[in-house]
Amino acid sequence: MAKKDTMRALVRRGIDEETADKLAGHFTLSALKKASLEEVQRAGLSEDQASAVLHTLGRKIAAGQAAPEKSVDERQAVINEFTRIKGIGPSKAEALYEAGFRSLLELQLQPIEAIAEVKGIGRKYAAIIKNHLTPSREEAMKKFATIKGIGPSRTQKLWDAGYRSTLDLKVATEEELEEVVGSAATQIKEEVGDLDARDILAKVDTIPPPEIKESEERAALRQAIQAVLAKQDEYLPRSVVTQIIEKIAGKDIPQKKLTELVTRVVEEYNQALMDPLEACGIVGAQSIGEPGTQMTMRTFHYAGVAEINVTLGLPRLIEIVDARKSPSTPMMTVYLEGGYKVNRDMAKQIANKIEITRLINVAEVTTDLGTMTVIVTPHLKALERRDITIEDIEKKLKTVRRAKIKRVNDVIEVKPTEEVYKELQRINEEIKSIKIKGINGIKRAIIRKEKDEYVIFTEGSNFEEILALDGVDKTRTTTNDIYATYNVLGIEAARNAIIHEAYSTLQEQGLNVDIRHIMLVADTMTADGTVRPIGRQGISGEKSSVIARAAFEITVNHLLKAAKKGEVDQLRGVAENIIVGQPIKLGTGSVELSVDVSKMRKKGE
Amino acid sequence: MHFNILKHELVPYFKVLSREEVEKLLSVYGISKGDLPKMVVTDPVSRAIGTREGDVVKIVRRSRTAGESVAYRLIVGTGMGDIRTLESDEED
């Protein structure tokens, strides 16, 4: 590796230029990774610098999702260690090693899901591993009790707070322990010690930030630009840097010109930024509200898919902003993977699997009062079309309580165990609505070809269960039910879902609203970790100012309650200051003038 | 968990911050931990990466406007549940 390349590689990993320069003169990248502390120091670094460098390199390797490869003997040692766990044989131990686990300690610290994900190890064995490594309740409590200052009550408190072993005590900070056991925390820390497990905890499960593939040349340019920015202690977002690269790629720019270029760009960027304390909330609200008045309140067919109705326009926007628990027309876009997405028949298979089919859809249900039987006559063609057999129907019918099933050729007879008219009626009703096939909630599944793959659109949404199916692309499938997205994928995904839904609702109506306003709304709605509606049940209702709430909705109640309790309004927000007649604390009003009397000149001086 | 939600399109990149990194972050912005946006400890992502109450995660999102954008969230407990459902004191 040439010295320049090594230097660049080191800088890319986070080492400063000067140190990188020194190192590059003595090592290649791979040699450096294997070097010892003394060897690195010989290149002209202090002990601290050397250990910092090795630490960074070590950390970077771990973050690249490949745990440091130990020599063959060490690998075997780790695998043997794993095999000692009851239930884990040599093949599973190997699988654990390949997945990146290097010690029992890591297995103890990683969540059970991370272990279950390893190929060859499912939930069952992950649970076995975890059980083996975590002491039982009695063991743990006994261990806690041996620490000076921890009596039975504090032991219980530790357990209730989630601590399961001395390892947990090691990983926690003294402050955290203080919250649980008060002053005894110091004693615990003295006896148990500390363990910084941040690296281990974050290692296996987090997926590294997707590296955007760039050509060597562009990556180098980006490096250079970042270096200039770092020197000036300025910031440019990634997309702006990309634009600079677009302009100068291929041209040979001397360093001085590049610096000047970057400086100019930084100037322009800083000027384009919004001022601090600008009233961005109201600007955003108006920017969304104004085009809202141009939206129609009609609903029409989802453009392209002739059969599925989806709420559009203003009613949909209101649903989103009100954080409704489920939309009035839930819909899912199910992407498929592998063979399922190129083969229409296989796609149809999945569509049939998820679309709900009830018995009355495929069979005729009649009652014969004479013989006290309910007769189920399946339509053979309908069965064929949906890929169901009469045996399937029989199996489902067996779940009917207090009834006897008898198959006669292509017809099924159902008799109540107690031959009473009431029972007959009950069976009749129950049978008619019995679900034969499909996932709850999916009323219809339609296949369409998009670009070069088959996609299933469903009327009705059951996000969790769909994602559990084979053949479904679990990374791209989405639903328009924001609450479901929140429950399955988390708050960040919900934020993205809100932005996507709101933006496309506006787009579809032909309105162009800058996405930043919508991003602000989405950020506000998801700021506390849950999806809060904007209205009085949510953000507006949680304001601390009485006057602001009274001005928003239900005026008299708020004022009465506040008066009863003797509440104080700090007059910190916008609404209350306007009502009272003072300048608001945004923009101009964010600044107060003050005078330093000691610096004032006396008259005549 | 049948699959890794962190791989889904809608879910950005998460990283747990070490104690030093958290302190640096708080001092750079001049805030305290409670001022950060939050994520509940029972959140599917929080469960997947094994964070506990009090941790801070760094989030790198793909952004249409800036290419990449960094955000932080403080992991928070479920507390009393939904405050909104607590009955407010009614009239006498």
Tens-place pLDDT, residues A391-403: 888 888 887 777 7
| Residue-level pLDDT at A446 | 86
pLDDT at residue B91 tops 60: no
**Residue keyed to tokens 């649980």:** A180
Bridge partners of A448, per DSSP, are: A455
Interface test with A, best of B3, B6, B7, B9 (most A CBs within 10 A): B9
Strand A373-378 vs strand A363-368: parallel, antiparallel, or unpaired? antiparallel
**Residue keyed to tokens 């490949």:** A66
Taking the C-alpha atoms of residue A77 and residue A74, their distance in angstroms, rounded to an integer, is: 5
Cβ separation A474–B7 shorter than 8 A? yes
| Residue-level pLDDT at A604 | 57
Name the residue type at position A507.
Q
For residues B79-87, give the mean pLDDT.
47
Taking the C-alpha atoms of residue A407 and residue A430, their distance in angstroms, rounded to an integer, is: 18
Contacts of B61 in chain A (CB under 8 A): 492, 496
pLDDT at residue A271 tops 50: yes
For chain A, the domain total comes to: 5
Closest alpha carbon to A65 in A198, A208, A200 = A208
Q: Which of residues 117-176 of A touch B (CB under 8 A)?
A: 117, 162, 173, 176
Residues 6+ apart with CB under 8 A from A358: A432, A433, A434, A435, A436
Contact status, residue A324 vs residue A332, Cβ threshold 8 Å: no
Using one digit for the tens of pLDDT, what is the confidence trace for A537-593? Answer: 888 888 888 999 888 878 888 888 899 999 999 998 898 999 999 999 888 888 888
For the record, the structure tokens of A275 come out as: 């001022």
Q: Is B15 on the interface with A (CB under 8 A)?
A: yes
| CA dihedral sign of residues A104, A108, A114, A115 | positive
Q: Is A210 on the interface with B (CB under 8 A)?
A: yes
CA angle A384/A386/A390 to nearest 5° reads 55
Taking the C-alpha atoms of residue A468 and residue A496, their distance in angstroms, rounded to an integer, is: 22
Coil vs helix vs strand at B39: strand
| Residue-level pLDDT at B85 | 43
Q: Which of residues 48-87 of B touch A (CB under 8 A)?
A: 48-50, 52, 54, 59-61, 63-69, 73, 76, 82-84
Coil vs helix vs strand at A406: strand
| Domain assignment present for A303 | yes
Residues 6+ apart with CB under 8 A from A591: none
Residues 6+ apart with CB under 8 A from A543: A549, A552, A573
Contact status, residue A302 vs residue A310, Cβ threshold 8 Å: yes
Q: Residue A242 belongs to what domain range?
A: 216-272
**Residue keyed to tokens 């270096």:** A227
Taking the C-alpha atoms of residue A252 and residue A255, their distance in angstroms, rounded to an integer, is: 10
Cβ separation A474–B6 shorter than 8 A? no
Confidence of residue A65 (pLDDT cuts 50, 70, 90): very low
Cβ separation A490–B68 shorter than 8 A? no
- Sort residue A529 into left (φ over 0), alpha (ψ -120 to 50) or beta: left
Taking the C-alpha atoms of residue A182 and residue A150, their distance in angstroms, rounded to an integer, is: 11
Closest alpha carbon to A200 in B21, B49, B23, B52 = B49
| Domain assignment present for A501 | yes
Q: How many CA atoms lie within 13 A of A328 on its CB side?
A: 14
For chain A, the distance separating the N- and C-terminal CA atoms, rounded to the nearest angstrom, is 72
Out of A10-19, A170-179, A296-305, least confident range: A296-305
**Residue keyed to tokens 């941790």:** B55
Taking the C-alpha atoms of residue A62 and residue A380, their distance in angstroms, rounded to an integer, is: 59
Contacts of B33 in chain A (CB under 8 A): none
Give the orientation angle of helix A515-526 with respect to helix A280-292, to 10 degrees.
Answer: 120
Contact status, residue B30 vs residue A514, Cβ threshold 8 Å: no
**Least CA distance to B56: which residue of chain A?**
A198
Using one digit for the tens of pLDDT, what is the confidence trace for A429-444? Answer: 888 877 778 888 888 8
Give the orientation angle of helix A152-160 with respect to helix A174-181, to 10 degrees.
Answer: 120
Closest alpha carbon to B72 in B20, B13, B30 = B13
Q: What is the secondary structure of A534-573 as a DSSP string?
A: SSTTTTGGG-S-HHHHHHHS-HHHHHHHHHHHT------S
How many angstroms separate the CA of residue A312 from the nearest CA in chain B?
A: 22
**Least CA distance to B21: which residue of chain A?**
A198
pLDDT at residue A230 tops 70: yes
Q: Which three-class secondary structure string do you get for A311-326?
A: CCHHHHHHHHHCCCCC
User: Strands of A403-408's sheet, edge to edge?
Assistant: A363-368, A373-378, A411-416, A403-408
Burial of A374 (0-12, 13-18, 19+ CB in 10 A): buried
Confidence of residue A352 (pLDDT cuts 50, 70, 90): confident
Taking the C-alpha atoms of residue A294 and residue B69, their distance in angstroms, rounded to an integer, is: 32
Using one digit for the tens of pLDDT, what is the confidence trace for A68-93? Answer: 455 667 777 777 777 777 777 777 77
**Residue keyed to tokens 């968990």:** B1
| Domain assignment present for A175 | no
Q: CA dihedral in degrees (A335, A338, A339, A345; nearest 10)?
A: -10
| Domain assignment present for A496 | yes
Strand (E) or helix (H) holding A436: strand A435-437
For residues A205-222, give the mean pLDDT.
70
Q: Which three-class secondary structure string do you get for A224-259?
A: HHHHHHHHHCCCCCHHHHHHHHHHHCCCCCCHHHHH
Residues 6+ apart with CB under 8 A from A174: A185, A186, A189
**Least CA distance to A475: which residue of chain B?**
B8
pLDDT at residue A12 tops 70: no
Percentage of chain A modeled with pLDDT above 70? 79
How many other CB atoms are there within 10 angstroms of residue A361's CB atom? 14
Q: Does A503 share its domain with A555?
A: no
For the record, the structure tokens of A521 come out as: 């709304």
Domain containing A509 — which CATH number? 1.10.1790.20
Taking the C-alpha atoms of residue A332 and residue A474, their distance in angstroms, rounded to an integer, is: 12
Closest alpha carbon to B19 in A139, A320, A198, A288 = A198
For residues A311-331, give the mean pLDDT.
90
Contacts of A117 in chain B (CB under 8 A): 1, 4
| Residue-level pLDDT at A484 | 93
Contact status, residue A491 vs residue A527, Cβ threshold 8 Å: no
For the record, the structure tokens of B80 come out as: 């009393």
Contact status, residue A365 vs residue A357, Cβ threshold 8 Å: no
Q: CA dihedral in degrees (A238, A243, A245, A249; nearest 10)?
A: 160
pLDDT at residue A258 tops 50: yes
Name the residue type at position A130.
K
Buried b (16+ CB within 10 A) or exposed e, A564-596: eeeeebebebbbbbeeeeeebbbeeeeeeeeee
Confidence of residue A495 (pLDDT cuts 50, 70, 90): very high
Confidence of residue A110 (pLDDT cuts 50, 70, 90): low
Q: Does A250 share its domain with A305?
A: no
Using one digit for the tens of pLDDT, what is the confidence trace for A364-421? Answer: 888 888 888 888 888 888 877 777 888 888 888 887 777 788 888 888 888 888 778 8
- Which is more confident, A537 or A1? A537
C-alpha B32, offset from chain centre:
15
**Which CATH code is given to the segment(s) B5-91?**
3.90.940.20
Contact status, residue A172 vs residue A201, Cβ threshold 8 Å: no
| Residue-level pLDDT at A431 | 82
Q: Does A238 share its domain with A290?
A: no
Instruction: Break chain B into its structural domains and give their ranges.
Output: 5-91
| Domain assignment present for A340 | no
Taking the C-alpha atoms of residue A524 and residue A85, their distance in angstroms, rounded to an integer, is: 48
Using one digit for the tens of pLDDT, what is the confidence trace for B37-78? Answer: 999 988 889 888 888 888 999 999 988 888 888 999 999 988
